[in-house]
Amino acid sequence: MINIKLIQNNPYHIIEILLLVAGALLAFSFSPYDIFWLQYPLLAFLFVCVLKQTPKTTFFRSMVFSLGWFAHGIHWVFYSLHYHGGAPVFLAALIIVLLSLYLSLFPAFALYLANRFIKANTAQMLVVVYPISWMIFDWLRGYFLTGMPWLQLGVAHIDTYLAGFAPIIGGLGIGLLVAIISGLLVLVFIRQSIKLPVISIVLIYLCGFLLGLINWTQPLGDPVKVSLIQGNIPQSEKWRRELYTPTLQMYRQLTLKNLDSDLIVWPETAVPGFKYRVDDYLNEIATQLAQTKTNVLLGIFERDEKTQRYYNSVISVDGQSYKKRHLVPLGEYFPLRSLLGFFAQWINIPMSNIDSGELQQPLFDVAGQKIGVNICFEDVFDRDVLRDLPEANMLINVSNDAWFEDSIEPWQHHQIARMRAAETGRSFIRVTNTGVTSVIGRKGEVLAILPQFKRDVLRYEVQGYSGATPYVVWSNYLLISTGLFFLGFFYRRSN
């Protein structure tokens, strides 16, 4: 039985120290560790530590917990800033700390405002108020200052029965269920109630299992034969002038070896330069592909001749194009340049001042299928993926996770893509420079995968799908509006 009064007394700030450790441990629930069940005791511990506390104490404890969570979970940013961006160690570490503190504000405000404005009994706070407030601020984290929804709790459960809820309430909603289950566990541990919380947890998992049996989308047409080229160009070599021509030759050779495919896909910025400089090279490949009617999608930088603006793009050899909409802060543009511009003199990242494409762009038409394309971390944002649905029959993400070396980032990114596939009921193709390159099924299952840091081609027949999951229809709006209604109800009753 948990002694809440002892926790509240908190001698020597032991609770804050434990919360920092607990937050750091939370990162192990995500890939590549995949210890998803850690979320339940760790989140339950946080809820206990803020239950019936003053708003000030609640905010501080939540910040400490979240700082451990994000500092560990996104420490891989150091690789891109220091090793490939040239930032000094102190500056790279400082940016990670500042970013982690910023992200920590969202769960901290979620629990602070809950304790500040809502008065309810223990069960209601643990099972309704805290989880809903957490969900709403997790949603806001994906929007504020362009958003950074990395490490959403629900993503870690893609291999559990809770994934059955993905086509209905998405990864955000699964995170809500995780928080609810954590609150129910607290009720069990403090012996306030045992039978009802246990039954509720069993029913949640049972519903997830049953929902996972439903096929929300239908196969459309014949499978598309794809060849996914993992070029395995280290980031330290990508922009070296003497390797420019060998890189182009390598991609051409691997492409010509797979002409029996309907579609060949290269990674993000596979061509380390601008399209106008390689037009002859691309025309030559297009000519060789014409006989087999094979199409190629490849990552490259484009320049608009009229505006002289530059874009991170994916183009096809038959003239179709997609320009990246959601840019990476500090990597592709500097947000709040008047405040953060001084960082630019310390960070030297190639092509870090480009423009974003239009929100609405045409889908790629390949082998009788409509394909929605996203670049780099755009698939982290559910709203960016949903823009192409339900029209898109399959989804493709091209990335260059070589920026983060052999850190945990590529696997976290891959896990997020799996959640996007489950939410949308679409096959999801990932093509990366150094991994993780894979084909993901419509329920988030991995159908085929290449090992990291190996130059290889992944060949697979990918099925297209039509129809719309409930989540595609209502996105997060139904969930958020319902959550706001319940919080409003408890707020009015408190006053």
The answer to whether 268 is a known catalytic residue is: yes
User: Taking a C-beta distance cutoff of 8 angstroms, is the pair 16, 45 a contact?
Assistant: no
DSSP secondary structure string, 188-235? Answer: HHTTS-SHHHHHHHHHHHHHHHHHHT---SEEEEEEEEEEEEE----H
- Determine the Cα–Cα distance for residues 12 and 382; give it in Å rounded to an integer: 42
One-letter amino acid identity for 448? A
User: Taking a C-beta distance cutoff of 8 angstroms, is the pair 335, 145 a contact?
Assistant: yes
Catalytic residue among 238, 323, 324, 443: 324
**DSSP for residue 312:** E
Encoding tokens for residue 427? 């096959």
Beta bridge partners, 301, equal 274, 312
Residues 6+ apart with CB under 8 A from 196: none
Collapse the DSSP code of 459 into the 3-class scheme (helix H, G, I; strand E, B; otherwise coil) and give the result.
Answer: strand
Residue 29 phi/psi, 5-degree rounding, is -75, -15
- Determine the Cα–Cα distance for residues 425 and 411; give it in Å rounded to an integer: 21
How many CA atoms does the CB half-sphere of 29 hold within 13 Å? 26
Cis peptide bond prior to 350, omega within 30° of 0: no
User: Taking a C-beta distance cutoff of 8 angstroms, is the pair 477, 385 a contact?
Assistant: no
Question: Which stretches within 257-408 are classed as H helix?
Answer: 279-290, 337-340, 382-386
- In whole angstroms, what separates CA 477 from the centre of its chain? 19
Catalytic residue among 238, 302, 370, 376: 376
The answer to whether 445 is a known catalytic residue is: no
Backbone CA torsion sign across 117, 123, 127, 128: negative
209-to-166, 203, 469 alpha-carbon distances in Å: 11, 10, 17
The answer to whether 324 is a known catalytic residue is: yes
- In whole angstroms, what separates CA 80 from the centre of its chain? 18
- Determine the Cα–Cα distance for residues 41 and 191; give it in Å rounded to an integer: 16
- Determine the Cα–Cα distance for residues 311 and 375; give it in Å rounded to an integer: 11
Catalytic residue list: 268, 324, 376
